[in-house]
Amino acid sequence: MLFDFPFLFLIGLANFMYRSFLFLLESFFFASSLKLWKARWLLYSHYFFQEFLLNSQRKKMKGSFPEGDLTYGETPFLTVRSLILWSEIKKKSVVWDLGCGRGMFVLFAGIYFEMAAVGIDFFPFFINTGKLVSRKLGLTSVQWVQADFLNLDFSSLSEPDLVYLASTTFSWDTICKLAKKMENLKSGVKVITLSAALPSKTFRPLKKREFWFSWGKATAYLQERI
């Protein structure tokens, strides 16, 4: 265990430097957007002081879901911008983020692109924080839903133009079940998944490309409901 410490320290240092670099880049690109700055600060301050609540909720849910389904990473604002532009959807479209985590995708889509964004996550802490941040920002175009997306009635939500799924660590069983569930979406809906395309013939592959995330690079797959 003692010999693991230098390795873990270097990994932590490298991650800190990488995330600091991303922060500097975003500071440059979005310097004029006070709302994005405020959103980032609200998220940082809230999670910094209450991270233990999230960890507590994760421990309670272990065994209820595959371990990978409870692992989360962030999609930086710069990457959210790139993904949405890459998908070529209209500015005021409806977007869903399945397993939204801290809500970076949802908040950016709502603020920067003025989209009707829906964040869905099983963790109450993520959803309650998203609602709090949205309220403080006066952001009325976003919606937060606390639910297991595999059991959620999608017809209760506004029909999406784009669905985002940061699925890198999701179990293959979860991805297959979700692909089957999303076959009921309307024709023309675009879906972005990470690390693997949806295993369904009802979705036509359009293109793929690598993007940067909080954990490093991952390949994004853009598909369209036939």
Claim to verify: residue 81 and residue 24 sit in the same structural domain: no
Claim to verify: residue 79 and residue 10 sit in the same structural domain: no
Claim to verify: residue 20 and residue 125 sit in the same structural domain: no
Q: How many CA atoms lie within 13 A of 224 on its CB side?
A: 8
Read off the pLDDT band of 61 (50, 70, 90): low
* In the chain, % of residues over pLDDT 70: 81
Which has the minimum average pLDDT: 63-67, 202-206, 222-226? 63-67
For 31, phi then psi, to 5°, come to: -60, -30
For 167, phi then psi, to 5°, come to: -100, 15
What is the pTM (predicted TM-score) of this model?
A: 0.85
Residue 223 confidence (pLDDT) above 80: yes
- Residue 57 has what pLDDT? 57
Distance CA 33, CA 130 (A): 19
What separation in angstroms does the CA of 208 have from each of 13, 163, 191, 199, 211? 31, 15, 12, 15, 10
Q: Which range of residues forms the domain containing residue 9?
A: 1-32
Which has the minimum average pLDDT: 56-65, 95-104, 143-152, 166-175? 56-65
Claim to verify: residue 161 and residue 120 sit in the same structural domain: yes
- Residue 64 has what pLDDT? 60
Claim to verify: residue 68 and residue 27 sit in the same structural domain: no
Distance CA 56, CA 190 (A): 35
Helix intervals (H) in 62-156: 77-87, 104-112, 124-137
Claim to verify: residue 78 and residue 155 sit in the same structural domain: yes
210 within 8 A of 219, measured Cβ to Cβ: yes
- Residue 72 has what pLDDT? 65
State both tokens at 38: 């405020």
- Residue 91 has what pLDDT? 83
Strands (E), 35-189: 94-98, 116-121, 142-146, 162-165
Is pLDDT larger for residue 150 or for residue 60?
150
Is pLDDT larger for residue 224 or for residue 60?
224
Claim to verify: residue 16 and residue 88 sit in the same structural domain: no
Distance CA 220, CA 226 (A): 19
Neighbours of 127 (CB within 10 A): 19
- Residue 52 has what pLDDT? 55
Claim to verify: residue 26 and residue 38 sit in the same structural domain: no
Amino acid sitting at position 62: K
Place of tokens 């939204």: 100
Claim to verify: residue 90 and residue 40 sit in the same structural domain: yes
Claim to verify: residue 73 and residue 148 sit in the same structural domain: yes
For the chain, how far is it from start to end, CA to CA, in angstroms? 52
- Residue 96 has what pLDDT? 98
